[in-house]
Amino acid sequence: MGRATARRRVVRLRGDTTGARPDALAAEEPLEIRVGGEPLTVTMRTPGDDFDLVAGFLVGEGLVHTADTLAALRYCAGTDEDGANTYNVVDATLRGGAALPLSAHRNLLTTSACGLCGRDTVEAVRTHVRWPVAADPLRVAPRLLYGLPDLLRAAQRTFDSTGGLHAAGLFDATGRLLCAREDVGRHNAVDKVIGWALREGRLPLTGHLLLVSGRASFELTQKAALAGIPLLAAVSAPSSLAADLAEELGLTLVGFLRGESANVYTRPDRVTAGPAPAPAGPSVHQHAHGG
């Protein structure tokens, strides 16, 4: 659909001079998520990989666990004033026609800054983890971690033109980039990655690493754990609640992963000292369309 960016004319200031020029902006549009025809929520996202986004969101809500749980995904006929499909409504069909539990009817607006708005308490999001990560045998060398941000950055095609998107990348234990996704919301980027893994039949993601381009929040830690990912790394800071949850679940949380340095906040035993091969070249699944 090619809707990940939008063009806008701007006045550019350089010293004492001004000039008009076109500029590329990261697109942001609402996506309504329905399950079995019933509205569940609305999230503000960058169009593209919408089916992955919905699948990953449902994993994070504890509604879907494996690919065979999700029978179908389709765009509904949300239309604009000209009668054209906006591609801003996706309906998910659960296997066997299962309906949403009453607790899932949140009918809220999730902004690109927060994927947990509308939750009553933090305790309400401590969803049961289907695949405990505490016993995951993953071990990685520091130098493998140091190479991951460059691999993810190289896969950020839309960021190159807009400078305005978060990214999430899924890596295997050798440092090979398996999937990269971008979005105005960091939680959406993670959902897109996890949704891709679900649809590929890869859950649980035992022995994998998840890297996010911004900070590591409680919500992203929860999403990683629900997908069975034992290590979450971020180029920026984690929150205190993210560290608390990671410690509680036995998940390794890495922050400030920049250059040849990082902070390991929980389960440092998974980050082993000593030489290791450089991260493998990417085998990345990246595209800009909703299916």
Active-site residues, by number, are: 114
Residue 177 burial by Cβ neighbours in a 10 Å radius (0-12, 13-18, 19+): buried
DSSP secondary structure letters along 127-156: PPPSS--TT----B-HHHHHHHHHHHHHT-
What are residue 232's DSSP bridge partners?
210, 253
Structure tokens at 283: 């085998």
Structure tokens at 173: 């234990």
**Total residue length of the chain:** 291
In one letter, which amino acid is 200?
A: E
Rounded CA separation 14/47 (Å): 32
Structure tokens at 54: 């919905």
Contact 196, 52 (CB under 8 A): yes
Integer Rg of the chain from CA: 19
Helix (H, G, I), strand (E, B) or coil at 249: helix
Rounded CA separation 258/132 (Å): 28
Nearest to 7 by CA among 28, 25, 21, 19: 25
